[in-house]
């Protein structure tokens, strides 16, 4: 524990990783929404025009996936679901209602965060695979033309699932759990925060048996 009662939570590398995926995802989200609905097509105009958005959307998408792989190499151990996590998930309603007392202690990430992580990880993979078909539809022979709309539907569906996760993620980190957003920005959390939300991790990293 450092002097000011703070605990380092995210390294600089982890924070860069996070914000790069956030940037790439947000770009794909905004341009994707523009292609998704005529009512949101203005977003593409704001971001430099429809053709520009169409050119960059898949490139940012590949970038998102690449950084997600990097993130995976760093975080996959921390993200493994444990039996404690499963018990936590059973009591998720209590967590949502701010009745945290009875919840099993979490390690570095709680089960909700892990769920979000795996949702985005597999979501990124699904978006990449389906997106590749949409990127180069001219290479799909006409006899296999049914693949094109199938991939488009799967791409949009996968995107909608990640958007669901994204809404929850932003809501929780910015509003619901004060201290998370600053942790991802500056890397530190207060000892009280660490104890309250990630007791196992706090005990493990600070060596304070609790």
Partner 1 sequence: MSNGTLQVKAISGHAGTVPGQNTSRDYDVCKLIDVTTCIGCKACEVACLEWNGYPFRETVFDNTYQTMPDLAWNYYNLIRFNEHTAEDGTFSWLMRKDQCMHCADPGCLRACPADGAIVQYSNGIVDFQQENCIGCQYCVTGCPFNIPKFNAETKKVHKCTLCSDRVGAGLEPACIKACPTGCLHFGSKDDMKDLAEKRAAQLRDHTSHKSAGVYDPQGVGGTHVMYVLHDINNPEAYGGLPKDPQIPLLVRFWKGPLKWIGNLAIIGGIVAAAAHYVRFGPKTTEEETKS
Q: Which residues contact 3 (CB under 8 A, 6 or more apart)?
A: none
Measured in degrees and rounded to the nearest 5, phi and psi for residue 8 equal -70, 125
Give the whole-angstrom CA distance, residue 142 versus residue 8. 55
Task: Work out how close the CB of 171 gets to partner 1 at its nearest, in angstroms, rounded to a whole number.
Answer: 4
Q: Is 46 in the site for partner 1 (CB under 8 A)?
A: no
Q: Is 199 in the site for partner 1 (CB under 8 A)?
A: no
Give the whole-angstrom CA distance, residue 131 versus residue 34. 16
List the interface residues with partner 1, window 142-181 (CB under 8 A).
Answer: 142, 145-146, 148-150, 152-153, 156-157, 160, 163-164, 167-168, 171, 175-179
Residue from the set 36, 70, 118, 122 that interacts with partner 1 by CB under 8 A:
36
Nearer to partner 1, 17 or 113 (CB): 113
* The two three-digit tokens of residue 98, written as one number: 């701010």
Q: Is 55 in the site for partner 1 (CB under 8 A)?
A: yes
List the interface residues with partner 1, window 56-85 (CB under 8 A).
Answer: none
Q: Is 129 in the site for partner 1 (CB under 8 A)?
A: no
Q: What one-character DSSP code corresponds to residue 189?
A: E
Cβ-contact 10, 184 below 8 angstroms: yes
Q: Is 195 in the site for partner 1 (CB under 8 A)?
A: yes
Task: Work out how close the CB of 134 gets to partner 1 at its nearest, in angstroms, rounded to a whole number.
Answer: 8
CA 56 vs CA 28, 38, 105, 123: distances in Å: 9, 19, 43, 19
Helix (H, G, I), strand (E, B) or coil at 15: helix
* The two three-digit tokens of residue 181, written as one number: 């957003």
Interacting residues toward partner 1 by CB under 8 A: 5, 34-38, 41, 44, 49-51, 53-55, 96-98, 100, 134, 137-138, 142, 145-146, 148-150, 152-153, 156-157, 160, 163-164, 167-168, 171, 175-179, 190-193, 195-197
């Amino acid at each position: 524990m450092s002097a000011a009662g703070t605990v380092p939570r995210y390294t600089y590398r982890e924070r860069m990783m996070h914000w790069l995926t956030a940037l790439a995802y947000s770009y794909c989200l905004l341009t994707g929404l523009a292609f998704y609905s005529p009512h949101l097509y203005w977003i593409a105009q704001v971001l430099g025009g429809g053709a520009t958005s169409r050119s960059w959307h898949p490139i940012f998408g590949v970038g998102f996936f690449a950084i997600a792989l990097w993130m995976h190499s760093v975080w996959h151990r921390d993200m493994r679901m444990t039996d404690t996590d499963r018990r936590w998930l059973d009591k998720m309603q209590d967590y949502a209602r701010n009745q945290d007392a009875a919840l099993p202690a979490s390690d570095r990430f709680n089960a909700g965060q892990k769920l979000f992580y795996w949702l985005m990880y597999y979501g990124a993979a699904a978006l990449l695979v389906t997106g590749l078909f949409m990127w180069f539809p001219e290479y799909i022979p006409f006899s296999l033309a049914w693949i094109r709309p199938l991939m488009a539907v799967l791409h949009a569906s996968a995107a909608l699932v990640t958007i669901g996760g994204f809404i929850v993620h932003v809501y929780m980190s910015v509003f619901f759990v004060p201290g998370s957003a600053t942790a991802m920005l500056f890397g530190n959390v207060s000892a009280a925060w660490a104890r309250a939300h990630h007791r196992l991790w706090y005990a493990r990293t600070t060596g304070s048996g609790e």
